[in-house]
Amino acid sequence: MGMWSLLDAMWEMPAEKRIFGAVLLFSWTVYLWETFLAQRQRRVYKTTTHVPLELGQIMDSETFEKSRLYQLDKSTFSFWSGLYSEVEGTLILLFGGIPYLWRLSGRFCGYAGFGPEYEITQSLVFLLLATLFSALTGLPWSLYNTFVIEEKHGFNQQTLGFFMKDAIKKFVVTQCILLPVSSLLLYIIKIGGDYFFIYAWLFTLVVSLVLVTIYADYIAPLFDKFTPLPEGKLKQEIEVMAKSIDFPLTKVYVVEGSKRSSHSNAYFYGFFKNKRIVLFDTLLEEYSVLNKDIQEESGMEPRNDGEGDSEEIKAKVKNKKQGCKNEEVLAVLGHELGHWKLGHTVKNIIISQMNSFLCFFLFAVLIGRKELFVAFGFNDSQPTLIGLLIIFQFIFSPYNEVLSFCLTVLSRRFEFQADAFAKKLGKAKDLYSALIKLNKDNLGFPVSDWLFSMWHYSHPPLLERLQALKNSKQD
């Protein structure tokens, strides 16, 4: 009875109260649903203490247990951080945090001699303060995650100094992009007339294309060291493979991911005829810092040929070795290039642009509704930035949830297709062993609750991917 009477009561309120109530109600509904799913997955971590039969060949019990404890710690952390951010968001709404911050920004502008007619200036101050607030409230969580959880499970490679310098750098770079882009967007919305949503959409399209183009060359190197992959067998084989599927490869980089964490990855980027591949040093057996440490411990000289190491040393290294062999790295790249060859990248861009256009169109329809502003405590002014915030973040939240679920489902389909592509290149066996290794290196837990994985996993569970590869490994 409680729920319906609550909805009834809401329906009899004025429009702005209804809007506010619906936003809060939806936010808590999503939160409770996510918490329910996380508890189901947590039960899997708690109860699956032995390697399941079908995983016998894939994972030894020591890694399995390590991974189980890592995922348990992560799930405890995400429970508390999720609860905190839900409560924080609710309190900000209930106590009028958004209008308060807007007034505060206005006061700061006033001190600098900008009156209320300088709405865009006030909006930028608002953005600066809001991002500063979220960076500061997020900092303790981020510190705990890095220096307690990731540290305890052997992933963290950062010092506190590096971490803080990195956080400040990230904040500054974000402001350098966010503030100019936002001011231009607000200006376009202001002067765009009836069809401003088309211009606003085109502007965001151009910005995202520019950012993708400059990100790897100008932004990423501010945070990580990129070095060209040295000439050698691996580079040749990558070039041969790229050529065989007409991938216009111009450069291959190794990024020093190991300064942050021992998690591994690979990706490609770039437009048209100018594609680059980036490999994390933690992915490459020959480059992994971890392996160099082991080699030093065992008094071994790092050698590239890998021949002639004594059996005993080999055994010692084998236990701890991180990263993939060259053939496996190629298989992982075969999968990544599959995303390109099968048009997944382009499809994702098209979907996100169609979505962005639809959102701007609906924004244009809704921005004139005064009750939306009144609902969030803006009784006498209707700033464009606040309109963007209310509509995109709160009013669209049900649509965003549905869209994000659909994209997750689509992403899993794309992953299977990219695996199948690597298989067609004859890399099934190597991809099979690479997936197992990467899962082990990253301490992924191979058992998942069906509902949790359906809602959250952008990649299919390990067993399903291996099964799909196996079915044709015999071919």
Known catalytic residues are 336, 419
255 φ/ψ angles, rounded to the nearest 5 degrees = -105, 140
Q: Tokens standing for 26?
A: 């939806």
How many degrees, rounded to 5, is the angle at CA 172 between CA 171 and CA 178?
85
How many angstroms separate the CA atoms of 87 and 81, rounded?
A: 10
* Three-state secondary structure of 26-93: HHHHHHHHHHHHHHHHHHHHHHCCCCCHHHCCCCCHHHHHHHHHHHHHHHHHHHHHHHHHHHHHHHHH
Residue 153, annotated as binding a ligand: no
Q: Is 263 annotated as a binding residue?
A: no
SS (H, E, C) 130-165: HHHHHHHHHHHHHHHHHHHHHHHCCCECCCHHHHHH
Residue type, 435: L
The three-state secondary structure class of 172 is helix
Buried b (16+ CB within 10 A) or exposed e, 157-192: bbeeeebeebeeeeeeeeeeeebebbbebbebbeee
Six-digit token string for 217: 């060359």
Residue with tokens 């382009």: 346
Exposure of 244 in the CB half-sphere (CA atoms within 13 A): 15
What does the alpha-carbon distance between residue 415 and residue 449 come to, in Å, rounded to a whole number?
A: 19
> Which residues are within 8 A (CB) of 241 and not within 5 positions of it... i.e. 6 or more apart?
247, 330, 333, 334, 337, 425
Find out whether 415 is annotated in a ligand binding site.
yes
Residue ranges of the annotated binding site for Zn(2+) are 335, 339, 415
Residue ranges of the annotated binding site are 335, 339, 415
